[in-house]
Structure 1
Amino acid sequence: MSTIVIADNHALMRYSIKRLLEQNGHTVVAETGNGQETLYMANKLEPNLLILELELPEMHGLDVISLLTLGKCSSKILALTAYDAENYLIRCLKAGASGFVSKTAELSEIQSAVKALLRGKYYFPHVTQRMAQAIKHTYLSHTPKPIKLTRRETDILELLAKGYNNQEIAKLLMISHKTASAYKLRLFHKFNTSHLLGMIDAARRGGHIAGSLTVL
C-alpha cells in the first residue's frame, strides 16, 4: 500500500487527485495548500510519493523539492504545473523531482505518472527514461560543495532563526539596517533559496545552526 501526500493550493484539484488515487488502492496521508506545510509534512510523514504543485504560496514548489532533496528525503516527487513541460524539465530534474505532469492533462496521465514513479521510473512527457536518467545524473551525481559562512553571517543566520527581523538584528549587532539586509540577501544566495524558512531548514540540516532554534 503506497502512502501519498498531495500539495496543491486548489481544493478541487486535491479532491480529484485524492479520489483517483484512493480508487486505485493508494492511501493519501495528508493534503496541504502551501509550500511551507508541504516541506513539514513530507519530512514528518516520509510518504512514498509527494504530488506537488509548483506554484504554491509561501514557498515555491521548486524550493520545496530542492530542500527535500538536500535533506535526503526518500519520497518520490511528482511535480504538477500549468506551464509547459519543456520550460520546467531541467529545473525539476535538477531540483530532484522524478516526474512532471501538466495540470491541463487528463487525470489518467497523473495515474500513469504515479505508477511509473512508484516503480522507480521517471515520468516526463516526451522524454525517454534514458534521457531523464542522463539529465538527473549530470546534475545530482556530484556532491554539492559545502556552504561556508563567515562568523558574521552565522551570527545573523542564528538571529534570523530566532525570529529577529532586519531592524532588530542591526540594533543588536550595531550595524546599519542596510548592512543587515545585505547579509540576509547574501545568505539567501548561498543557500540557493528565496524563502526564510527554507533557508533556516537547510542551515539546520547542514549543521550551521543548532536544531533547537525555532522561527517565531
Structure 2
Amino acid sequence: MNGFDDHGIVRMGLVQTIKRLRPSAQISEVEDYRSLYKLILEKELDLVIMDVNMPNGSVQDAINYIKIHQPKLKILIFSSQDEEIYAIRYLKMGADGYLSKQSSPAVIEAALTSMLKTGRYASDLLRESVFSKSFTGSSKGSPFEALSDRELQIAGKLAEGLPIKEISTQLNLHASTVSTYKVRLFEKLNIRSVPELMEIFRLYS
C-alpha cells in the first residue's frame, strides 16, 4: 500500500486510518512522482492514495505508468480540487476512486474501507453527478468541459493564484508551454484575466 500526498498532516491522518482498518498493512510514503515510479518498480502494492498536485510529473502520466507496470493496482485520488469538476476526469483517466480532502473523517474511513474491500469508491455527490450527466449529457453546463485535462489542470493552478513560473516547476513544463496553455484555455472560456477565471471556478464549484 502506498500513501502519496503532499501534505504531511493529511497524510498522517490517512496512515492512522489505514492502520486502524487494516493493522497488518505495510505503508510506504513518497514525496513526488519520480519517487512513486521508483516504488512501483520495487514493490508490489495493493492501493495507491495519490494527490494530484505533486512535482516531477502529472497524474495522467502516473496513472498510465501504474497501468503498465502494476495493472491490478488500485488508485484512489485524494484531492482538494472541486469534485464535480475534476472527479469524473480522473476516473476516465483510469483512477478507481476520488476522495475529497474536505470529506469528514467518517466519509474518509468509508472510502478507504470501500477501496480496500472492493477496489472502488465514489461519493454520493459523484454518483449523483454521473447519474445526472447520463441523462443530460453535461455536468451543470460547466464551461470546463471544453478544456483538455492539461488545460483544466493549469486553469486550477492559475485560479489558486500561482504564477506561471511556479506552475511550470510543479508540472515540469517550460514556462512558455504553460503560457500557451493559458492562452488556449482563456480563449475556450472566453475570458481575459485570472480574476475572471477565479469567478468561473466560484460559480461552478
Tell me which structure has the larger Cα radius of gyration: 1
**Structure 1 counterpart of 2:42:** 44
SS at match of 1:92: helix
SS at match of 1:41: helix
Pairs within 5 Å for 1:1-216: 4-26=1-23, 27-125=25-123, 126-128=125-127
| Contact 2:15 2:27 (C-alpha < 8 Å) held by counterparts | no
| Contact 2:33 2:54 (C-alpha < 8 Å) held by counterparts | yes
Cα distance in 2 for partners of 1:28, 1:121 equals: 17
| Contact 1:50 1:77 (C-alpha < 8 Å) held by counterparts | yes
**Residues 139-167 of structure 1, C-alpha deviations (whole Å, 9 max, x = no match):** xxxxxxxxxxxxxxxxxxxxxxxxxxxxx
Number of residue pairs the alignment of both structures matches:
130
Coordinate RMSD, CA, aligned: 2.5
Distance 1:80 1:68, change over 3 A: same
TM-score (norm 1): 0.53
| Contact 2:99 2:108 (C-alpha < 8 Å) held by counterparts | yes
| Contact 2:2 2:29 (C-alpha < 8 Å) held by counterparts | yes
Cα distance in 1 for partners of 2:111, 2:83 equals: 14
**Structure 2 counterpart of 1:149:** none
Deviation, 1:99, is 0.5
Deviation, 1:66, is 2.2
Distance 1:109 1:28, change over 3 A: farther
Cα distance in 2 for partners of 1:7, 1:20 equals: 15
Deviation, 1:72, is 4.4
Which structure 1 residue ranges, 5 or more long, are not aligned? Answer: 136-184, 186-216
Identity %, equivalent residues:
22
Kindly indicate which of the two structures has a greater share of residues assigned to helix. Answer: 2
Cα distance in 2 for partners of 1:56, 1:68 equals: 16
Which structure 2 residue ranges, 5 or more long, are not aligned? Answer: 135-176, 178-205
| Contact 1:99 1:124 (C-alpha < 8 Å) held by counterparts | yes
- Runs of 4+ residues over 4 Å off in structure 1: none
